[in-house]
Amino acid sequence: CHPCVAMRVPMGPLSLLLALSLLSPRGSAGGSCPPRCVCASNLLSCSQANLSAVPAPLPRFTAVLDLSHNNVTRLRADWTPARLPHLHALLLSHNGLAFVSTEAFTHVPRLRHLDLSSNRLRTLDENLFSDLGELEVLLLYNNEITTVDRTAFENLGRLRKLYLGQNRIARFPLELLREGTRLPQLALLDLSANRLRAVPAGELQALPAWLRDRLYLHNNPLACDCLLFQLLDRGHRRHLSAVVDFQDELRCVLPGAPASIKILALAGQQPLNCSKAREAVLEAHLGDSVTLGCDSRWQGVRSRHWVTPGGERVLGDGGNGSVVLLANGSLQLRALRPEDAGTYACWVAGPLLNETLYVELLVHNFTLHGPHDTLNTAYTTLVGCILSVVLVLIYLYLTPCRCCCCRGTEKPPAPRDDSINSSVLSTTPNHAGGTGEPCGSHIASSAGTGQNGRFKGGGTPPLPTRQGPKAQRKVSDPDSVSSVFSDTPIVV
């Protein structure tokens, strides 16, 4: 044969080995590509390979591992005995996965994307993902999850997207969102198509708008409630995507109703007759300090400014420091005055569109303790007036009689021509010639003689009744001004 033919025979195996080495860029030093898998650079694809376990050993340089559409039903702690420091994406969807060990992610601490969707997971146990401190996206939709432990997402400080739709969750620990410390970077939470019957609408309203914009609650058997309606109605007016894009799927159930109705259709409908709420209304009192939040849909916005009800643009400290623009975009008002009331506008320059938010401030014309102080003052004034009237009545009608036995005897009226002059110029007491009787014998004896040895009677005899206002005038008492100006000395 031709000499060149003999030389081609031993070259066949060498070319095959060379081709295999080209498939794995790190060669034998970094680990060979597992059987039934395809390796391309640092990507390892073992999808639809009919695998019942994770192939081993895995190359240390693997950055993306695709094990989807296989039969890996259990993910134990030793699925990768060696540490994979470069792995940042792990795909395990469509495997019938029913068990995941709490130590399954110990050797992959740099994981940022984890796909466990379309499996048969039923519970999310305590500290299940606590080793994934750099995880950003977690896909758990289309499973059979019924129980979610509140510590399952511990240490996920960088998690941005959490997909839990199409499960059997009856209660999700939404306090993880309210606290803001468990999942501080979370910007998307999908709880659609679960078994949620109630959500804390008031607490959800307090969440930042950029999180409510990606909080999906559609296709849940929610009970109709006016707070829930107002939450979604505000979101619809703010054009939040979680409400606008799924407004037909956001439905609720009325007691005794045969079918669910749209939540946004509850306005004015019996039996709830829900009323629409204003976007943002803040009430305060004179002298208070309040903070107006700029609740924008855009996360991390830095360009914003406020416009006061008077049309003044606030970019920093205003006036004497009573208006301050904070670093987070909120506007702080100090020592409120009545003229501070009105509608404030916050202008936000977002990454895609600009947004304008309005906050209405109501300033009550009294301090925080004003109503109580005013009420106490009114009661004090009223009691004082009543006591004054009672004292006047006592003085006018209940003054004790000088003669204890004559309390009921009314003094006879004085004659019309009686005047101060007659009593003043009189030289003797005005008691002579009277027909009136004394109060009693014991009084006469005890009284003795009056001044100048004369008997001092109890008063003058009654005169005929006269008509007119002067008929009610009383006769002067013997101890009145006539006795004061008498020429007879007073003996004590």
Q: Any residues with CB less than 8 A from the CB of 172 and at least 6 apart, and which?
A: 148, 164, 191, 194, 196
How far is it, in rounded angstroms, from Cα 409 to Cα 406?
5
* Residue 277 or residue 58, greater confidence: 58
In a domain, 303, yes or no: yes
Cβ neighbours, 10 Å, residue 388: 10
The mean-pLDDT minimum among 51-55, 99-103, 345-349, 411-415 falls in 411-415
Backbone angles phi, psi at 253, to 5 degrees: -120, 125
- Closest by CA to 256, choosing from 218, 224, 226, 220, is 224
What average pLDDT does the segment 415-434 reach? 45
- What proportion of the chain, given as a percentage, has pLDDT over 90? 33
Number of H helices, E strands in the chain: 12, 24
Kindly tell me if the per-residue pLDDT of 146 is higher than 70. yes
For the chain, the straight-line distance linking the first and the last C-alpha, in angstroms and rounded, comes to 175
- Closest by CA to 350, choosing from 301, 388, 315, is 301
Which of 34-38, 189-193, 313-317, 364-368 is the most confident on average?
189-193
Kindly tell me if the per-residue pLDDT of 248 is higher than 60. yes
The confidence score (pLDDT) of residue 246 equals 96
Q: Any residues with CB less than 8 A from the CB of 163 and at least 6 apart, and which?
A: 117, 138, 139, 140, 141, 188, 190
pLDDT tens, position by position, 445-467: 444 444 444 444 444 444 444 44
In a domain, 328, yes or no: yes
Q: For residue 420, give the 3-state DSSP assignment.
A: helix
In a domain, 251, yes or no: no
Q: Which helix (H) or strand (E) holds 235?
A: helix 226-237
In a domain, 414, yes or no: no
In a domain, 469, yes or no: no
How does 291-310 read in b/e, with b if 16+ C-beta sit within 10 Å?
Answer: ebbbbbbbbebeebbbbbee
How far is it, in rounded angstroms, from Cα 55 to Cα 71?
12
In a domain, 107, yes or no: no
How far is it, in rounded angstroms, from Cα 228 to Cα 145?
25
**Cis amide prior to 57 (ω within 30 degrees):** yes
What average pLDDT does the segment 313-335 reach? 76
Tokens of 32: 């060979």
Residue 73 — pLDDT band, cuts 50, 70, 90? very high
- Closest by CA to 166, choosing from 185, 183, 187, 144, is 144
Kindly tell me if the per-residue pLDDT of 170 is higher than 90. yes
Q: For residue 314, give the 3-state DSSP assignment.
A: strand
Kindly tell me if the per-residue pLDDT of 404 is higher than 70. no
- DSSP β-bridge partners for residue 345: 307, 358
Place of tokens 């301090």: 367
Place of tokens 């639809």: 48
Count up the domains in the chain and report the number: 1
In a domain, 329, yes or no: yes
Question: In this structure, are residues 474 and 411 in contact, taking their beta carbons and an 8 Å threshold?
Answer: yes
Kindly tell me if the per-residue pLDDT of 84 is higher than 60. yes
Backbone angles phi, psi at 15, to 5 degrees: -65, -35
Q: Which helix (H) or strand (E) holds 262?
A: strand 261-262
The confidence score (pLDDT) of residue 122 equals 96
In a domain, 53, yes or no: no
Domain residue limits at 287:
282-364
Give the CA radius of gyration of the chain. Answer: 49
The confidence score (pLDDT) of residue 423 equals 42
The confidence score (pLDDT) of residue 311 equals 80
Cβ neighbours, 10 Å, residue 435: 7
Read off the CATH number of the domain in which 316 is found: 2.60.40.10
CA dihedral sign, ordered 370, 373, 375, 381:
negative
Kindly tell me if the per-residue pLDDT of 49 is higher than 60. yes
Instruction: Burial-class residue 192 by CB neighbours within 10 Å (0-12, 13-18, 19+).
Output: buried
Kindly tell me if the per-residue pLDDT of 325 is higher than 70. yes
The confidence score (pLDDT) of residue 214 equals 92
The confidence score (pLDDT) of residue 210 equals 86
Question: In this structure, are residues 419 and 475 in contact, taking their beta carbons and an 8 Å threshold?
Answer: no
Residues in the chain: 492
Backbone angles phi, psi at 188, to 5 degrees: -150, 130
Q: Any residues with CB less than 8 A from the CB of 287 and at least 6 apart, and which?
A: 335, 336, 367, 368
* Residue 302 or residue 219, greater confidence: 219
* Residue 293 or residue 100, greater confidence: 100
pLDDT, mean over the chain: 76
